[in-house]
Chain A
Amino acid sequence: MWDRRVFRLIGSSILQTGPILVAATFIVFVLMHLVPGDIAITLAGESATAERIEEIRSMYGLDQPIIIQYATWFWKMIHGDLSVSLLSREPVLQSILYRLPVTLLIVSLAMVMSLAIGVTLGVFASLRPRSTLDSVVTTLASVGIALPNFWLAMILVSFLALRFQWLPVSGMTNPVQNPADALYHAFLPALALAAGGVAEVARQTRSALMEVQASQHMRTLAAKGLPQSAIFWKHGLKNISVTLLTVVGLLFNRLLGGTVVIEAVFAISGMGSLVVSAATGKDFPVVQGVMLAMVVIVIFVNLAIEILYAVLDPRVKRR
């Protein structure tokens, strides 16, 4: 399993990650320059004095060529200096690190729910193609993909939290300090977030399993006299694991984006609510910091997935 091929693949995946990381930081950096007009004025605020504007200009190095600005920003960034918030004056890295566990908890929980429910539904749908159950799952998947997750969140809150009071309406505790309570608070947001994921996982599991089941090697297994359960759970699931892994990669990205809206519904102070308030208030260092944190997480998750590909599927050579 851990032969030279796998190590070579891991090496090449890591090498390919470098340029993407750098490119991502550049996109985050360039973002601020999309601001129409003079950035210094925007940063300083409409009513700022001329001196204040000049002070901002030299503080951010805005009077220098863009490539120098980027180099300076990059240098500071890799040393952990993501500047300070224009509004709260708090160091950006600190506020991100404070909120990161909350967001990651919700995303992970939603991922677990998506996989658990989605794979189960997909498996049952594929066992009896064209049956009523299959039609129900397929239809639910179509609806799930088109469902605005914040609307589902509202409906869930309205029933489960407000009417029956089973779960908290809003808020969050720090997962590091009180994991149990945090999990309790994260359940509803994660459930709302997971709806689209369940739909996507169910759909992909179903079609991948149907394809595998129609394949000739599954017929060989029956000819060998293997029990149905071994054919399905051992061979079927290992054959679709690569598909599932791809779905997990795409889904992680989508769930991380989805938390932004979900956190707003549940008034949770995570990365999402941070970036929304920063974008509204033109607090660019914070916006940049959150985007940077998120894209770095996504890139590393994708790297992990690339490595798992190599381990799970012996045919993967190099992409």
Chain B
Amino acid sequence: MTAQAHRARLSPHISIRHFGFYISAAYLLILVVVSAIAPWIAPYSPTQQDYAALLAPPSGSHLLGADDLGRDVFSRLIYGAPLTLFGSLLAVLVACVIGLPVGLIAGFSGGWIDIVVSRVIDTMLSFPAIVLAIGVTGALGVGLTNSMIAIGLVFSPTIARLMRGQTLICRSALYVDAGRCFGASTTRLLFRHILPNAVQPVIVQVTLLLATALLAEASLSFLGLGVQPPQPSWGAMLARAYQYMEIEPSQMYAPGLAILLTALAFNTLGENLRVRLDPTLKNR
């Protein structure tokens, strides 16, 4: 009974949550700025080779050392940020472009369209995501753009399912019926009433998907299916570092940490948004 309410007020987590939210937002903002001004702040070009520093450990001239071709790891890390962010954004964008209209149509029209779409969604979600992405990338051809389109395609059922659910909720709500009585057209209903109401959960899902997309991008680039050399994606840098791990293990820390922190920031942001937008979750 009242104990629940008291627990919520007691919680020291609220402040920690807010703290996490601001730290994540600040980190991502810095990452975006770094991506935008990478050429001006990176000490070296990402492809510039320093033959005197092959597999060099961290030092004054190479803050995080240099890779097997003598390229500055720190500079490549900075240049990797825009690529990694672009990859994640592209994947999520593709997922939305496919998923949102499919979910909207399925939810709004109901009937056999809904049944078929739901079954296709279920089926696509039965595939291990990364395997489906690898298959699609294999068909489209390797490369950052293709692999991200593949990942977007693989994630689109998640968005479609969410959108379908939201549409069903909104459709059954009274005001949509009211709009129909007044002779509003179907398209108008979709865009004026259903879409704005579904925006909040979609934003939460998109933020969380950015983390998943980032990890998927890193995996595919690590496997050599994503970013192609000599471009410096974090996942590709890890693949490089892995080959020379026995000689110079220090090179694997920075790119991995960058992936971890960025995914963590997206997740923290998403979870915070979810709690903020959904009052029933406040007590958790």
Residue of A nearest to B20 (CB): A142
Among the listed stretches A93-101, A221-229, A239-247, A249-257, which one makes contact with chain B, having 4 or more residues with CB under 8 Å of it?
Answer: A249-257
Asked if residues A151 and B12 are in contact (CB atoms below 8 Å), the reply is: no
* Given A23-B120, A261-B219; A146-B260 close (CB under 8 Å): yes
B139 A31 Cβ-Cβ under 8 A: yes
Segment touching A, from B86-94, B121-129, B160-168:
B121-129
Asked whether A278 lies within 8 Å of B260 as measured between CB atoms, the reply is no
Query: Judging by beta carbons under 8 Å apart, are B256 and A24 in contact?
Result: no
A269 to B: closest C-beta gap in Å: 15
Closest to B255 in A: A151
A287 to B139, CA, bound (A): 9
- How far, in angstroms, from A254 to B131 measured CA to CA in the complex? 10
Q: Chain B: how many interface residues by the 8 Å CB criterion?
A: 54
Contact A290 B126 (CB under 8 A): no
Give residues 212-240 of B contacting A (CB, 8 Å).
215, 218-219, 222-225, 235, 238
| A289 → chain B closest CB, angstroms | 11
| Residues from chain B with Cβ under 8 Å of A290 in the complex | 131
Nearest CB of chain A from residue B126's CB, rounded to whole Å: 5
- Distance of A256 Cα from B219 Cα, bound (Å): 14
For B100, the chain A residues whose CB sits under 8 A away are none
Are the C-beta atoms of B130 and A261 separated by less than 8 Å? Answer: yes
Among the 9-residue stretches B59-67, B180-188, B263-271, the one with 4 or more Cβ atoms under 8 Å from chain A is B263-271
Q: Mark A130-154, 1 if CB is under 8 A from B, else 0.
A: 1000010000001101111011001
Which B242-264 residues have a C-beta within 8 angstroms of A?
A: 242, 245-246, 249, 252, 255-256, 259-260, 263-264
Contact B130 A19 (CB under 8 A): no
Chain B contacts with A in 105-157, Cβ cutoff 8 A:
119-120, 122-132, 134-142
A282 interfacial by beta-carbon distance below 8 Å: yes
- A248 on interface, CB distance cutoff 8 Å: no
Closest to A255 in B: B128
Bound complex: CA A157 to CA B255 (Å): 17
Contacts of B245 in A (CB 8 A): 154, 157-158, 162
A24-B126, A256-B128, A261-B130 known; 12 new pairs, CB 8 Å cut-off, are A20-B123, A32-B139, A154-B242, A155-B256, A162-B249, A254-B129, A257-B128, A260-B131, A260-B134, A275-B134, A276-B225, A294-B127
Q: List 23 A-B contacts (CB under 8 A).
A: A24-B127, A34-B140, A142-B264, A143-B264, A146-B211, A146-B263, A146-B267, A147-B263, A148-B218, A148-B238, A148-B263, A150-B218, A150-B238, A151-B252, A214-B4, A254-B128, A256-B131, A275-B131, A276-B223, A279-B138, A287-B138, A290-B131, A291-B127
Give A contacts to B, CB under 8 Å: 19-20, 23-24, 27-28, 31-32, 34-36, 130, 135, 142-143, 145-148, 150-151, 154-155, 157-158, 162, 207, 210, 214, 253-254, 256-258, 260-261, 264-265, 275-276, 278-280, 282, 284, 287-288, 290-291, 294-295, 298-299, 302
